[in-house]
Amino acid sequence: MTVEFSPQAKREFKKTLARYPHKEAALLPVLHLAQREFGVLSDEVLEQVAELMDLPFSRVKGVVSFYTLYNTREVGRHVIRICHTLSCALNGGEEVIEHIKKRLHIEVGETTPDKKFTLLECECLGSCNTAPVMQISDRYYENLTLQQVDQILDSLE
Amino acid sequence: MEDKILLKYIDVPDIQKIKVYQKHDGYQGLAKALKKHKPDEIIELVKASGLRGRGGAGFPAGLKWSFVPKDSGKDVYLCCNADEGEPGTFKDRLLMEKNPHQLIEGIAITAYAVNCHQAYIYIRGEFSQAMKVLEQAIAEAYEHNYLGKNILKQGFHLELSLHPGAGSYIAGEETGLLESLEGKRAEPRLKPPFPASVGLFKGPTVINNVETLSNVPHIIMRGPEWFKGFGTEKSTGTKLFCLSGHINKPGVYELPMGIPLKELIFNYGGGIIGGRKLKAVIPGGSSTPVLTADQVDVAMDFESIQAAGSMLGSAGVIVMDETTCMVDALANLTRFYSHESCGQCTPCREGVSWMAKIVRRIEDGKGLEGDLELLLDICDNISFKTLCPMGDAAIGPVVSFITKFRSEFEDHIRQGRCPIEKDKSIKVRG
């Protein structure tokens, strides 16, 4: 299967390039764009990105492996990132993680069989005043209680 | 006397919108800078204000700008460091989400001062909301000619773009940030050359924190003497203090530099949850050495905290009460640093992950006789032996936790278990 950016994504690609004096500098935002487009940054997708960016595949792959927000494996429709750094841990972050693991019957790093949720731990989300905190897709959920976690998970399609 | 600078208008409805911002002195600083001052005069004003970098190191901002060579013949770049990732710190996100134009104005003035025509905001990839707000605000600023060509008809030209990160603590280190902005792994560079001479795309580059830049319009509008009316002699202005942990009223508090830590915790922060006793405080983000409960009389400015053996850092104040297991807390921090090491330098890559494993085994009751000496020895072998400050950031908590809470670590090793009753510790609130 070959992957192909949509016309709209191609337009966004061009707009992104225009922000930099060197094409290579656009790699991080272009990878974000590819992830929005294809969900997972598979090797096929990365080959496509490498071609568009005039970069060797290995160079693109090396960048992807450095950062935590790029998905190189299949993920669920909702990626749950729970902060497990100190301020959240002091306010029950571990308890929230254990609760979600039990509720979804998965370990950290796994995806539910129905491909609805992927559970990840992440480092400080910069919202320590509202600990414990988790991010699902683009949204922050703050001051979590176990009850709220249940409601949030129930509310997602 | 008014007591706020950066958060003065934070509660004004729709202050994110340019029309509302303009009604609250918005872009007056930029207009004044372009119409009444030469670039060098801006640098002198900021130098005179004593403004120091708010990202952690506290380097004088005006002095940093003055290092940019005037005649390099290369394009000069300005990078706003919005990669706020130091655990315990959450002030830049607030500034971006609540008052984006204040930051954009600060960037425009700073760019004018250093003769830069292309600026970037390097923002954490996680900060989706702040990105949305900033994108909107940047578009508005272009529409109103505060960005773009011939700004306010004064002949100055500036392009400003957002650059999203992708999840990496070390991208907040200034040269790691430059690598990441160039589309690479955020592996810090060897210094010298310093970014002021060879930075982004090999051009002279200024990198400043969000809070630092947000102060600039006010200094230009009101003058350095007014700014120096806040804070202490050497730490001027206000500071955004981030309170988190076992505290009744966590949040961001803008207060003059030099406010006693005790007042911050017990007055502004409403004291410790559940009326418990204070045990320890990390005063400036997770990398700064921990303070004990009897050190909280310290004033929160660069010099006073340094004299007390720690650092103001990013002013991320993490409060820990008497139920906290210090070994567990340290295990959390060392895990963080081992995860975030970029892996270039052996002492940091290997040393920090060893430290994380050893502290974890002590907490799990498997600590060995001599583990504390081993940990301190590893710290010694990391200190000043890495390209960037990350190695030293990782050992800050290790040395201070072991030194100040040694008996607690020894109890863990001797008893072969964690002696702190975990069921007494704070659980999820509410």
Range of the structural domain that residue B316 is part of: 238-321
Query: B314 and B253 in one domain?
Result: yes
Rounded to whole angstroms, the Cα distance separating B374 from B2 reads 51
Residue A2: what pLDDT? 73
Query: B251 and B183 in one domain?
Result: no
Query: A139 and A111 in one domain?
Result: yes
Query: B395 and B306 in one domain?
Result: no
Range of the structural domain that residue A25 is part of: 7-66
CA distance B271 to chain A (A): 14
Query: B199 and B294 in one domain?
Result: no
Indicate whether B421 pLDDT > 70.
yes
Query: B204 and B77 in one domain?
Result: yes
The answer to whether the CB atoms of A89 and B127 lie below 8 A apart is: no
CATH of the domain at B345: 1.20.1440.230
Indicate whether B185 pLDDT > 90.
yes
Residue B420: what pLDDT? 87
CATH of the domain at B136: 3.40.50.11540
CB interface of A with B, residues 65-104, below 8 Å = 66-70, 81, 84-87, 89-92, 95-96
CA distance A1 to chain B (A): 27
The answer to whether the CB atoms of B244 and A131 lie below 8 A apart is: yes
Domain for residue A141, yes or no? Answer: yes
Residue B54: what pLDDT? 96
Smallest Cβ–Cβ distance between A90 and the set B129, B245, B316 belongs to: B245
Alpha helices in B70-99, H assignment, sequence order: 91-98
The answer to whether the CB atoms of A132 and B332 lie below 8 A apart is: no
Query: A94 and A152 in one domain?
Result: yes
> Any idea which of B45-49, B86-90, B283-287, B416-420 has the lowest mean pLDDT?
B416-420
Which residue in B384, B291, B395 sits closest to B337, CA to CA?
B395
Asked which of B207, B228, B249 is the last residue of a domain, the reply is B228
Query: A114 and A53 in one domain?
Result: no
Between helix B28-36 and helix B210-222 the angle, nearest 10°, is 60
Smallest Cβ–Cβ distance between B429 and the set A20, A28, A91 belongs to: A91
Tell whether A144 lies on the interface with B, counting CB pairs under 8 A: yes
Domain for residue A2, yes or no? Answer: no
Query: A151 and A100 in one domain?
Result: yes
* Residue of A70, A100, A124, A139 to mutate, testing the B interface (most B Cβ within 10 Å of its Cβ): A124
DSSP B247: B
Residue B429: what pLDDT? 59
> pLDDT tens for residues B340-376?
999 999 999 999 999 999 999 999 999 999 999 999 9
CB B407 within 8 A of CB B368: no
List the Cα angle B402/B407/B413 in 5-degree steps: 90
Domain for residue B399, yes or no? Answer: yes
Domain for residue A102, yes or no? Answer: yes
CA distance B165 to chain A (A): 7
Domain for residue B2, yes or no? Answer: no
The answer to whether the CB atoms of A86 and B332 lie below 8 A apart is: yes
CATH of the domain at A49: 1.10.10
Query: B245 and B350 in one domain?
Result: no
Query: A150 and A102 in one domain?
Result: yes
Domain for residue B195, yes or no? Answer: yes
Across the range B309-336, mean pLDDT stands at: 97
Query: B348 and B312 in one domain?
Result: no
Chain A residue numbers with beta carbons less than 8 Å from the beta carbon of B178 are: none
CA distance A104 to chain B (A): 19
Chain A residue numbers with beta carbons less than 8 Å from the beta carbon of B252 are: 129
Domain for residue B10, yes or no? Answer: no
Query: B52 and B195 in one domain?
Result: yes
Indicate whether B428 pLDDT > 90.
no
Mean pLDDT for chain B overall: 96
Rounded to whole angstroms, the Cα distance separating B112 from B146 reads 12
The answer to whether the CB atoms of A69 and B125 lie below 8 A apart is: yes
Rounded to whole angstroms, the Cα distance separating B2 from B26 reads 18
CB B289 within 8 A of CB B312: no
What letters, b where the CB count within 10 A reaches 16 and e where it falls short, cover A106-141?
beeeebeeeeebbbbbbbbbbbbbbbbbbbbeeebb
Domain for residue B198, yes or no? Answer: yes
Query: B210 and B67 in one domain?
Result: yes
Indicate whether B423 pLDDT > 70.
no
- Other CB atoms closer than 10 Å to residue B350's CB: what's the count? 16
Asked which of B168, B198, B228 is the last residue of a domain, the reply is B228
CA distance B369 to chain A (A): 27
Tell whether A132 lies on the interface with B, counting CB pairs under 8 A: yes
Query: A131 and A104 in one domain?
Result: yes
For residue B252, give both structure tokens.
Answer: 């961001």
Query: A102 and A60 in one domain?
Result: no
Task: Give me the total of CB pairs closer than 8 Å, taking one residue from chain A and one from chain B.
Answer: 160
Query: B144 and B257 in one domain?
Result: no
Domain for residue A117, yes or no? Answer: yes
Rounded to whole angstroms, the Cα distance separating B252 from B262 reads 16
> pLDDT tens for residues B46-65?
999 999 999 999 999 999 99
The string of DSSP codes covering chain A is: ------HHHHHHHHHHHTT-SSGGGGHHHHHHHHHHHHSS--HHHHHHHHHHHT--HHHHHHHHHH-SSS--S---SEEEEEE-SHHHHHTTHHHHHHHHHHHHT--TT-B-TTS-EEEEEES--S-GGG-S-EEETTEEE-S--HHHHHHHHHH--
Domain for residue B9, yes or no? Answer: no
Strand partners, B316: B242
Tell whether A54 lies on the interface with B, counting CB pairs under 8 A: no
Domain for residue B5, yes or no? Answer: no
Ranges of residues in chain A with a pLDDT under 70 are 1
Residue B251: what pLDDT? 97
> pLDDT tens for residues B149-175?
999 999 999 999 999 999 999 999 999
Smallest Cβ–Cβ distance between A128 and the set B75, B168, B244 belongs to: B244
Rounded to whole angstroms, the Cα distance separating B255 from B323 reads 29
CA distance B128 to chain A (A): 6
Domain for residue A73, yes or no? Answer: no
Chain A residue numbers with beta carbons less than 8 Å from the beta carbon of B244 are: 87, 90, 128-129, 131
> pLDDT tens for residues B221-263?
999 999 999 999 999 999 999 999 999 999 999 999 999 999 9
Q: In angstroms, how far apart are the furthest CA atoms of chain A?
A: 50
CB B352 within 8 A of CB B394: yes
CB B283 within 8 A of CB B291: yes
Query: A86 and A55 in one domain?
Result: no
Domain for residue B94, yes or no? Answer: yes
Query: A56 and A104 in one domain?
Result: no
Query: A86 and A60 in one domain?
Result: no
Query: B245 and B211 in one domain?
Result: no
Asked which of A66, A93, A114 is the last residue of a domain, the reply is A66
> pLDDT tens for residues B13-38?
999 999 999 999 999 999 999 999 99
Indicate whether B426 pLDDT > 70.
no
Chain A residue numbers with beta carbons less than 8 Å from the beta carbon of B201 are: 21-22, 25
Query: A84 and A152 in one domain?
Result: yes
Asked which of B321, B353, B368 is the last residue of a domain, the reply is B321
| Number of domains making up chain B | 3
Query: B270 and B181 in one domain?
Result: no
CATH of the domain at B274: 3.10.20.600
> pLDDT tens for residues B396-410?
999 999 999 999 999
The answer to whether the CB atoms of A96 and B428 lie below 8 A apart is: yes
Contacts of B321 (CB under 8 A, 6+ apart): B245, B246, B272, B273, B274, B276, B277, B278, B279, B426
Asked which of A39, A66, A93 is the last residue of a domain, the reply is A66
The answer to whether the CB atoms of B332 and A91 lie below 8 A apart is: no
ipTM: 0.96
Sequence length of chain A is 157
pTM over 0.80: yes
| Number of domains making up chain A | 2
